Structure 1
């Protein structure tokens, strides 16, 4: 169970995560169709690379097993709102950066 001092942080993380889900749902259908539909089990991660960092949700390609979305040591697609309010799809090479769940 969360300590009372952790609740504001958890609430903020949940708000950011839900913003990612809502904005992803507004992307054109042909883009959304390439990925598994994100839900509350979708990994929300922090990615730190050489000169930048991002937070976002990991999108699983429709042609790969859903279980692979938790494998951060491979190339994967990250949907992030850090630089673009409408969201952007980024290819992350997990073997070349630090990735952790938020």
Structure 2
């Protein structure tokens, strides 16, 4: 199992709290964010169980979804749905995105 998977789950828990705050102002954005959060975890888990080419594809999908979660937070901040986001969540997201990017692009 990838060590990053546990960090992904922690990120998911923290991001779900932010999604709850966003939902008070924008239900659609919160729903999209939740789908992206789930996609990061599910595709990371699926990638761990796949072989070469499919593994990379799953990690690439997880990476795109992780970036989408971050974009949802940035949009929510820009639209003033949330004022502040826990720095620990943003650090976890950076860690997840960086690790997934290395998994995807180191073999390119």
Same fold (TM over 0.5): no
Tell me the TM-score range normalised by the shorter chain. 0.3 to 0.5
Return the structure number with greater relative CO, CA threshold 8 A, min gap 6.
2
TM-score by length of 2: 0.34
Structure (1/2) with the larger helix percentage: 2
